[in-house]
Structure 1
Amino acid sequence: MAFPEDALDLRGELTIGGTTVDVTPHLYTRDPIEITHGMSAQGTGVDPSTCSLTLNNKDGRYSPRNPLSPYYGVLTRNAPLSITVAGAESYLKLAGAATSYARTPDVAALDITGDLDLRVEATADWYKTANQTLIGKWVSVGNQRSYLLRIEAGQLILNWSVDGTVAYFFAGQPLPLLPPRAALRATLDVNNGSGGCTMVLYWAPSLDGPWTQVGDTMTLTGVTSIYSGTAPLEVAPVQGTGWLPMSGRVHRAEVRSGIGGTVVASPDLRALPPGTTSWADTAGRTWTLTGAEISNREPLFTGEVSSWPAKWSTSGRDAWVPIEGAGVLRRLGQNRHPIQSTLRRRVPSDPRLIAYWPMEDGQDATAAYSPLSGVQPLVVSGLDFAADDSLGGSAPLPKVKAGSSLRGTVPRSSASGWQVEWVYNLPTMPALQTEIMRVAVAGSVMRTAVVYASTSGVRVEAQDADGNVVAFVLYSNASAIADFWGRWNRLAIYTSDNGSGTTRLYASWRDIAANSRWYATTTFTGTQGAVTGVAGAWGSNTADMVMGHLAVFDLSAAAGSSSPPGSVIFSGADDGYAGETALARFARLGAEESALIDVSWVGEDVSVPSERLGPQRAATVLSLLREAAESDGGILAERTDRLGLVYRERASLYNQSPVLTLDYAAGHLAPPLEPVDDDSTLANDVTVQRVGGSESTVTITEGPNSVRPSEQGGVGIYEESTSLSLADDSQPYQIAGWMAHLGTWDAARYPTVTVRLHRHPELIPAVLRLRIGDMLRIVTPPIWAGPGPVDLHVLQIKHRPLPRTWQVEFVCVPAGPWRVGVADDAVLGRVDTDGSALAGGVSATATSWSVAVTSGPLWVTTALHPAEFPFDVICGGEVATVTAVSGTSSPQTFTVTRAVNGIVKAQPAGADVRLAVPTIAAL
């Protein structure tokens, strides 16, 4: 790739008044553009990305209050700013909206009725929860459904229809951890020759393969076919009901008639000129665009400009505006308003909710407000507000004191059936029958529903207008009574139509932690009616009961003696979603706060799920996202292509292949390349505490970075402690061990790795693909830096682009500790020796070593395990390949190939011998 020769290949754009403005002609190059993205080597979190540049302002156009400026009145704070360069190839840019797609008309070649093969190579948010369509002939209106490939929540799905009306689908298969750019494929064998049809899904680095199967082959009984409809073929289909097209880039795609068969459509966007709106592919299909574009722009920065500091020379001959763009983290970090509790946020989202009182009011409150319009506050007496903060899904709630009461009026609903539900924690079960809650009802022979509790059981009564009991039940199951008190719980009182003119009245409660449910039910002759009020009055028997989030719904349960409440809106939110994984929290918060922030993520690998978290407490959105990232051990970073955040889960950092390889001998690296071997990141005594739970400490007592004093081969004690949001007390010990492993890894840091792309333009495509957390590899390093290759994780990227020079600096840390074991892998699945050493010294060229086992089992031998060879060992810094091992007792004889990593030297007797790539247990 040739380096750009004019400033137009480096483009600056501002969005002003909703219009994209090219400001490249006004960029002053006397002040270099400087872009920083990521975190410092000693950082604990990603900082807001920054972009500093200077705009020529001689005509005053970038002065917000200049009436003569063409942007007067619309040049505001936080104007979006992007810096891009021309990439090596073009792509189809899609907005993820129903108005953004590429289309070719229906022709006979696309009306495949037999075997099908769909392929797409794209750059996308593969794990986004929304349903994203990739390619297909699929129109729901008019029943013109044929075939469709899509992804949803990290699963790949193939849909097809036999008649255009009924949609069949290949059950979604979880995607592995994919790179941002990858190819997906689905095949459908409509008649597998055994009386059925077969579907297989694949992924590959590109459309050129190699293809790896995703999930299991799926075979259905009965042959099938595909509807030959009139729908157009679309990249990112937009006419499937309830589905949105993908957001991101499509590089190329194929539709084949037959598995590996004839290509009938092949949009390849890579060589199209930017701005193309119509073209013919190699299969003869003519494509047009709607709401999409062919682009070759690659982003270096996307952010916002918060101020416009006008400056000028005293002569008046020059005026300029030095602006500082910042990533979205800057603005989010200034948003200090905490989001509400999970219950307060979720309960009002139920469309059948007619009354709701969170009861999260402050300690001096004299009434409990309702967030619903038209619902009056609860009239309360004697409640001790904000007294208990132990429920994960709520802000502090009130305690009941002797003589406490509440009364609330519920707007009358015309719907048939109702549900009243709230959370509570009753510290002791009353010995005598004690009222817990009563519900006023209209339009039924039952005018009041009452729940009582005592050590004898839970009693539910339906009372008429005179207070006479028309139906009741006393539920005395011992286990059910035990679950009613002594823990956080939910109690729901509700009705269902029991048929034949009768109504069933329920009281149902559950243990939030165990997720079990009990039902006390009774029936009476009459209709369900509607709730008009709720009330409670409590004495000393219920003192210190905590309660809140009293909600009323106008819907009934399904018929049956063990039917749960009709609304399950409390589920999950009651305990603050405790136990959900980090990625699940990112997905949920991203969906709930989509108006505030764009959140995407990488993962999750079902074999290594992200960390399970504790309850989500009230905090700012950014604090909650950072809390989840810190607990999981991944990286929360800003996107470079749009205003948004992307989270890389911990597992996505394991065992990476290099995105960028730099050859020191070929001059790829600019001086200085200076490794730092200090103790700034050292931690060998690590304590992790679960917020609200126990703590664990892991101490490293062996090795060069252990807590042993220096005279005993260690470095002394380096303590580190942290508190994390975790689901249970089994997690701190494992996390402390992983943090100690990272903190004692014996390798140098590389705080600065510099590349001058104007001198090595062949590196530009790989540099543009590099993201925070990716792996960079340095090959053929100088001997004084240690043997290569040097594998590094990139924490920060700094660009200094100018019209004819482009320097990039990477802040890096060792990637070695992230190379973890993989079961049954020939390299990463080997168990290292407990202790082995050379039984005698060897020359620099000796190919036969006598190796003594000083601890643990013997090494495998060629005679018994020939498939285990070859493998690499390291001795005195030299890597050697072991091609054979013989001997059934110590010492054993190793046949080796020397100097695999370029180190050539004699090795003394007693030199340690171990696997060059030992298995490290992942967290």
Structure 2
Amino acid sequence: MALSVDRRTEIQVGTTWTVISDDVREKDPVVIERGAKNESAKTAPAKMTLTLNNRHGRYSPRNPLSPYYGLIGRNTPIRFSVRGPESYLQLDGTTAAYARTPDVAALDITGDLDIRAEATLDWYATSVQTLIGKWVSATAQRSYLLRLEAGLLTLNWSPTGTGFLFAQQVLPAMPRRAAVRATLDVDNGAGGWTATFYWAETMAGPWTQIGLPVTVAGVTNVYAGTAPLEVAPVQGTGWAPARGRVHRAEVRAGIGGTVVASPDMRAMAEGTTSWADSAGRTWTVSAGARISDREYRFTGEITSWPVEWDVSGSDVWVSIEAAGVTRRLGQGQKALQSTLRRRVPSDPDLIAYWPMEDGDGATAAYSPLPGVRPLVLDGWDMAADDSLGGADALPKTKNPASLRGTVPRSSSSGWQTECVFFLPSMPAAQTEILRVQVAGSAMRTAVVYASTAGVRIEAQDSAGDVLATFLYADAAPIADFAGKWNRLAIYTAGSGGTCYLYVSWRDIAANSRWIARTNFVGAQGAVTGVMATHGAGTVGLVLGHLAVFDIPAASTASNAAPGSLVFSGADDGFNGESAINRMSRLALEEAAQVSVTTIDGDLNILSTAMGPQRPGTLLALLDEAAASDGGILYEARDSLGLIYRDRTTLYNQRIGLALDYTAPGEVPPPLRPVPDDQQLRNDVTVTRRGGSAGRAVRESGPLSVQPPPLGVGPYDEAVTLSLYTDDQPQPIAEWRVHLGSWDEERYPTITVWLHAAPHLVPAVLGLEIGDRLTIDNPPPWQPPGPIDQHMRGYTERIGAVEWSLAMNCSPAGPWTVGVVEDPVLGRADTDGCTLTAGITATATSVAVTSSPGPRWITSAVFPAMFPFDVTVGGEVMRVTACTGTGLAQTLTVTRSVNGIVKAHSAGTPLSLTHPMRAAL
């Protein structure tokens, strides 16, 4: 029997997606592989194979008669989709993508307001995403707007059409598809206004309130403007429209009041461009948006077009193998340069720059800027020091040493010269560090000197005489100048005929800046060169990333900062940056290579703080961030992009796919648990790159380092991670031991036959890498209770009569972590408890002894904390009461909660079924 699934295969011909489904051979199934294989810690590049009929020669890239001649070849984009259970409005996050209905009187709500939207988005993206509203900034037609930013749900409204008010709440952890709602009570009866926020899994509810209502004194109103109502409003200054899918939305006049707009895209035909909603509003989809019902199962690039034919030549075909974007990113990619080398040239005021990261055989330092001659160096050990996080290896001075560089003349409105340096110790005598040559001013040279007496800035005239000088002689700034990595900046500002000359240095690690200033009457002049002469007092000075900017100081104040701050953050390689922020920044910097979407599961728990970003390929740097944080980096299905779900998204997940072993097609054979040692780790050492280490060992239990039969013996692991502080390795080692010695079977293959169980299609289409699935009613020879796993990867087969998904899984149990004040996950276990005496299979009174303690809570003192579940010898019992104030107590229980019926002997351990476990 043929499979009734609307399948679509498309290739990008030139810039146009072209449907080629009719040429896909039915006899050969489309096979898609995504995610990790065999519980590998790292996801492999996605892959899709299919066979195309090529009797017409259409898919022979070098065939001049092919309509695709010159338009297809290696890395031609390809995508495969099926028709989903409902449609949606697809938005790309640009101002060309929206749906709009014109303004009418019903939309001009001036009083209480209720706005709702159901969407599939990155709810925690750092950029603004507008969801729905009547809002045009340029013409002062602001009324109301619901938007997202960095995990905040914000309601904006304007009483006048110009300025605006707002209220917001931090979103909780939500699934990718969810509904949000905001209400505004313009007059709460107490002389103020109140905004309240909610979320739900769908707009059908039930709604869960987010935080407390936001109440502010003073009643308000909403401006009745002429702006259209838009899904993904595009006319708010500085606010970008949403990127993702919008399924439906509502605007109501009054809280829970009359629906005045209700765009609902779920039942629309693909390609719909205009429709009337249930409230009578006529909507139009912009050219950049679209109504789609496609669920993409793969998007990648065709790596080759191998043409094959039979001996008769009458049957010709192409066996396509397409790969996800990580295959290309992982092949032949050059390492990204240091963060300073990448960041400094982005400054629009930069006029000269020498990274000084040249190889150890170089005799000069090249400039990446056109028209800037190399920096002449004499007496330097090139590539001698790579200890600065934001730089590759930099040169170090010998005795004597000098540098000289010519600068294209700056304007006369202010300038700045900056570099990074490490001076081993302050010289006893005044010693030159760097000088700037100037034209068009009484000051011909600005010089910075250092000695144990202080740091001196001097303005010198053409004869070398001092025009103005200042010595910063305080102990703290002197101590910060040497023995640590610094940034040195020399810069000017001018006002009323006076030139202010500054020197500042910033301790890169401590982020502390010192500023000294002097002044003279005259012009600031223009920079024409930089130079320095070094002797015995500066032997071992490391200097690099020498840059000149055509910009004055931020002000003429005595503590004015330099005008350009482009070095900031990049100087230490963004040391301390969170894993998610690093991925987001890299994605912005390398937008031409790949897009990266990050999913943050818990905004209250920051992703891992990382060490400095050192040179490496883009994919290696992204993998490094994922490894440090412990989340999952994988390829998107609907774009040539990557998705990173941080570690907290794996904690305490909702069930994404609920299967029943006894239901036809839901769990066909084979279902084989594998109690192997592939991922077993019970002795883990984690080392911070460039820092110290932490070690954790499982000393007891069935998977401990103890020899059999007490344990399994040592299974050790040593990893080096990019981490910010030496406090991080120990808890990470403990977490990795927790995961690696979890005593539960994994299921390398859990298969679903969608052709036999089509009711599972919506859930499977929404299932992503790392999501949780369960199997109820497992066979009786397996442990009782549902099988609970995380899906780490899968192989999908879609053909003429088959649609199957074979999922590679790992236990979800170790990712169940404690939640404070939660009635189940917030309960701590004892430090050891056993049965005082044996019990029969039906006994409901159980004597226990806790050792060393603490004892169990009693039902007399904590009645609200009952019942709770405990496990004894594999049987789950429900504790309904507990008596006894010592370590020996009596529990009243309900037996066989998980279906296990058996007697237990004295000394059998008893523990909480769901004990609180600390998250990393």
Give the structure-2-normalised TM-score. Answer: 0.98
Deviations 1:454-489 (A, max 9, x none): 001111111122222121111111111000000101
1:672 positional shift? 1.4
* Alignment partners' CA distance in 2, 1:413 and 1:114: 57
Please name the residue that 1:897 is paired with: 894
Partner residue of 2:202 out of 203, 206, 212:
206
User: Which of 239, 242, 264 does residue 246 from structure 1 map onto?
Assistant: 242
Measure, in 2, the Cα distance between the counterparts of 1:592 and 1:666.
49
Instruction: Say whether the 8 Å CA contact 2:28–2:799 is kept in structure 1.
Output: no
Partner of 1:47: helix, strand, or coil? Answer: coil
Aligned to 1:363: 360
Q: Displacement of 1:173 after TM fit?
A: 4.0
**1:785-824 alignment runs, 5 A limit:** 785-824=782-821
Distance in 2, matches of 1:816 and 1:779, equals 15
The residue that corresponds to 1:78 in the other structure is 75
Report if the CA contact (8 A) 1:483-1:511 is conserved.
yes
Residue of structure 2 equivalent to 1:259: 255
State the alpha-carbon separation in 1 of the partners of residues 213 and 366 from structure 2.
Answer: 55
Q: Is the 8 A contact 1:686 1:721 kept in 2?
A: yes
Moved more, 540-549 or 141-150: 141-150
2:719 is aligned with 1:722: yes
Aligned 8 A contact 1:80 1:303 in 2: yes
Report the equivalent of 1:545: 541
Map Cα deviations across residues 170-194 of structure 1 (whole Å, 9 max, x no partner): 3x54433321111122222323333
Equivalent residues of 2:29, 2:800 under 8 A apart: no
- Contact kept, 8 Å, 1:10 with 1:803, in 2: the verdict is no
CA deviation profile, 1:814-835 (whole Å, cap 9, x unmatched):
0100101111111111110111
Match of 2:699 in 1: 701
Among 389, 393, 397, the alignment partner of 1:396 is: 393
Q: 2:686 matched to 1:688? A: yes
Consecutive unaligned residues in structure 1, runs of 5 or more: none
* Closer, same or farther: CA 4–328 of 1 in aligned 2, 3 Å: farther
**What secondary structure, in the 3-state scheme, does the structure 1 residue paired with 2:648 have?**
helix
The root-mean-square deviation of aligned C-alpha atoms, in Å, is 1.6
Matched-pair identity in %: 60
Which residue of 1 is the match for residue 188 of structure 2? 192
Match of 2:335 in 1: 338
Task: Report how far residue 216 of structure 1 moved.
Answer: 5.2
Superposition pairs of residues 526-605 of structure 1, within 5 angstroms: 526-557=522-553, 558-603=555-600, 605=602
Amino acid at match of 2:197: L
Alignment-mate amino acid for residue 20 of structure 1: W
Q: What's the CA shift for 1:4?
A: 8.2
Counterpart contact for 1:41–1:813, Cα < 8 Å: no
Q: Deviations over 1:78-101 (max 9, x none)?
A: 111111111111111112222111
3-state DSSP of counterpart to 2:748: strand
Contact kept, 8 Å, 1:604 with 1:610, in 2: the verdict is no
Decide whether the 8 Å contact of 1:204 with 1:212 is kept in 2: yes
TM superposition shift of 1:688: 0.8
Q: Deviations over 1:277-323 (max 9, x none)?
A: 21111111111111222211111111111111000111122111010
Report the AA paired with residue 202 of structure 2. Answer: S
Number of corresponding residues: 917
State how far apart, in whole Å, the 2-side matches of 1:655 and 1:604 are.
10
Matches within 5 A, 1:427-442: 427-442=424-439
* Cα displacement string for residues 174-227 of structure 1 (whole angstroms, at most 9, x for unaligned residues): 433321111122222323333333333332222123333445543344333222
What's the secondary structure of 1:122's corresponding residue?
strand
Distance 1:31 1:832 in 2: 54
Aligned to 1:524: 520
Q: Does 1:614 align with 2:599?
A: no
* Matching residue of 1:425: 422
Aligned partners of 2:911, 2:883: CA distance in 1, in Å? 17
Q: 1:240 to 1:10 in 2, by over 3 A?
A: same
Cα distance change on mapping 1:394 and 1:214 into 2, 3 Å: farther
Per-residue displacement from partner, 1:838-867 (whole Å, max 9, x unpaired)?
A: 112222222221112232111000100111
Query: Aligned equivalents of 1:530 and 1:226: distance in 2?
Result: 54
Q: Tell me the equivalent position of 1:830.
A: 827
When residues 473 and 258 of structure 1 are mapped into structure 2, their CA distance, relative to the original with a 3 A threshold, is: same
**How many angstroms does 1:755 deviate by?**
1.0
Following the alignment from structure 2 to structure 1, what is the Cα–Cα distance between the partners of residues 360 and 71? Answer: 45
The letter of the residue matching 1:225 is N
Deviates more, 1:436-445 or 1:312-321: 436-445
Matched, 1:91 2:88: yes
Contact 1:600–1:645 (CA<8 Å) still a contact in 2? yes
d(CA) in 1 for partners of 2:513, 2:887: 62
1:293 to 285, 290, 315: 290
> Mean Cα displacement is larger for which, 91-100 or 183-192?
183-192
Q: Distance in 2 between matches of 1:379 and 1:897?
A: 85
> Which amino acid counterpart does residue 697 of structure 1 have in structure 2?
R
Deviation digits for residues 413-438 of structure 1, max 9, x if unmatched? 33511111110000011000001111
- Measured against aligned partners, the alpha-carbon deviations of 1:320-366 in whole angstroms (never above 9, x if no partner) come to 10101111111111142011110011111111212111111111112
565-574 or 144-153: bigger deviation? 144-153
* Aligned equivalent of 1:381: 378
The structure 2 residue matched to 1:631, chosen from 628, 649, 666, is 628
Do 1:436 and 1:452's aligned partners in 2 also have CA atoms closer than 8 Å? yes
- 2:271 and 2:290 in contact (8 A); partners too: yes
Displacement after TM superposition at 1:604 (Å): 5.4
Q: Measure, in 1, the Cα distance between the counterparts of 2:844 and 2:296.
A: 52
Q: Is this contact kept in 1: 2:86–2:293, CA < 8 A?
A: yes
Instruction: Measure how far apart 1:773 and its partner are.
Output: 0.4
Contact 1:360/1:395 (8 A) holds in 2: yes
Give the whole-Å Cα distance in 2 for the aligned partners of 1:347 and 1:189. 49
Partner of residue 673, structure 1: 671
Is the Cα contact below 8 Å between 1:657 and 1:775 reproduced in 2?
Answer: yes
Deviation at 1:752, TM superposition (A): 0.5
Task: Tell me the amino acid that sits aligned with residue 25 of structure 1.
Answer: D
For residue 68 of structure 1, report the CA deviation from its aligned partner.
1.6
- Once residues 438 and 212 of structure 1 are traced to their aligned partners in structure 2, the CA distance between those partners, rounded to angstroms, is 64
C-alpha distance in 2, partners of 1:410/1:623? 36
Please show how residues 58-207 of structure 1 align to structure 2 within 5 Å: 58-170=55-167, 173-207=169-203
Per-residue CA shift, 1:22-77, capped at 9, x if unaligned?
A: 12111112222111111112412100111111011111111111122111111221
- In 2, the alpha carbon distance for the partners of 1:742 and 1:459 equals 57
For 1:377 and 1:316, the matched residues in 2 are separated by: 62
Structure 2 residue runs without a partner (length 5+): none
Contact 1:128 1:587 (C-alpha < 8 Å) held by counterparts: no
* Cα distance in 2 between the residues matched to 1:167 and 1:362: 56
Distance 1:575 1:581 in 2: 14
* Aligned equivalents of 1:771, 1:530: Cα separation in 2: 58
Task: Measure the CA separation in 2 of the matches of 1:31 and 1:419.
Answer: 66
Q: Name the SS for the 2:335 alignment partner.
A: coil
Deviations 1:738-762 (A, max 9, x none): 0011111000010110111111111
Give the corresponding residue for 1:222: 218
8 Å contact from structure 1 (residues 177, 602) kept in 2: no
The 2-side partners of 1:406 and 1:736 are apart by: 47
* Offset at residue 6 of structure 1 (A): 4.1
In 2, the alpha carbon distance for the partners of 1:57 and 1:811 equals 34
Which residue of structure 1 aligns with residue 471 of structure 2? 474
Instruction: Compute the displacement of 1:880 (Å).
Output: 1.1
Structure 1 segment 734-773 matched on structure 2, within 5 A:
734-773=731-770
Which residue number corresponds to residue 32 of structure 1? 29
Letter in 2 for 1:833: T
User: TM-score, length-normalised on structure 1?
Assistant: 0.97
Pairwise CA distance, 1:500:
4.1
Q: How does 1:910-921 map to 2 (within 5 A)?
A: 910-921=907-918
Q: State the secondary structure of the residue aligned to 1:659.
A: strand
3-state DSSP of counterpart to 1:764: helix
Q: Distance in 2 between matches of 1:468 and 1:194?
A: 73
Q: How many angstroms does 1:169 deviate by?
A: 3.3
* Aligned AA (1:519): I
Between the aligned partners of 1:19 and 1:205, the Cα distance in structure 2 is: 35
